[in-house]
Structure 1
Amino acid sequence: MRRTSAAIAASATVIALLLAGCGDDTTATEPASTTAAPATKVDAAKAGMFVVSYRNAFPKLAEGRDDAAVADVLNLTCSDIKAGKSEADTVAAVVTYSKNGSTTATEDEAKTIYETVKLMC
């Protein structure tokens, strides 16, 4: 059931991106509310779509986090992708970025997040 929900969320994000069009990414020097400052900051429309999809697909990982903290998962992961990190290293980092207290993303959840972010960067 979780994989199905994650797949639906990822598909909805892709469809929304196709309908909305793609914007340019901008870099930011603002500190992030998670472990590190992202080198890339995805535009607000994409970040908003990601936050909604993330909250729907991963409610335990999103619980108690504000939109900026969830968007940081997108920005940090996108920074890793653009920096040329391998998929395995980026997926491992997604587990860290997504950690919410004692709740940690599974390998499948981290891969789904990675695939979604890859489409949005």
Structure 2
Amino acid sequence: MSRTTAAIAASTTVFALLLSGCGDDSSSTTDSSSSTAAAPTAEVDAGKAGMFVVSYRNAFPKLAEGRDDKAVADVLTQTCDDIAAGKSEPDTVAGIVSSTENGSATATDEEAQAIYQMSKLMC
């Protein structure tokens, strides 16, 4: 139960940071949408990726244990790519479960849903 609370707190923190004006990404979304038509990919801002890494490490210490920042940020990138490609929420959450696997630690459905919600705010 405490992991879910931590995930909600991390999501709230991330959301508050985004609302406080971390940057205007409106110009980058129009550029990236016109550059490729085959497979839409989401470009994740480095600042947002950094916030995600900190939030992820605080909310899910067992899943983050032994992983470098790039590996954690790749969870965000993959999730944003899935969302941009139009994957359904359940399929994206299932992908999060497999991409967050860390040795014997695997994200629960609740944790994967919390990661999805955090990622969705940053994409």
TM-score (normalised: structure 1): 0.85
State the distance in 1 between where 2:73 and 2:19 align: 20
Deviations, residues 51-102 of structure 1 (Å, cap 9, x unaligned):
0000000000000100000000000000000100000000000001111112
**DSSP 3-state at the match of 1:65:** coil
Identical aligned pairs, as a percentage? 60
Alignment of 1:1-121 (within 5 A): 1-19=2-20, 20-23=22-25, 24=28, 39-121=41-123
Question: Structure 1 runs of 4+ off > 4 angstroms?
Answer: none
Structure with more relative contact order (C-alpha pairs < 8 Å, separation 6 or more): 2
Structure holding more helix per residue: 2
Higher Cα Rg: structure 1 or 2? 2
Q: Any stretches of 5+ residues in structure 1 without a counterpart? A: 28-38
Name the count of aligned residue pairs: 111
Q: Any stretches of 5+ residues in structure 2 without a counterpart? A: 33-40
* Equivalent AA in structure 2 for residue 14 of structure 1: F
TM-score (normalised: structure 2): 0.84
**DSSP 3-state at the match of 2:87:** coil
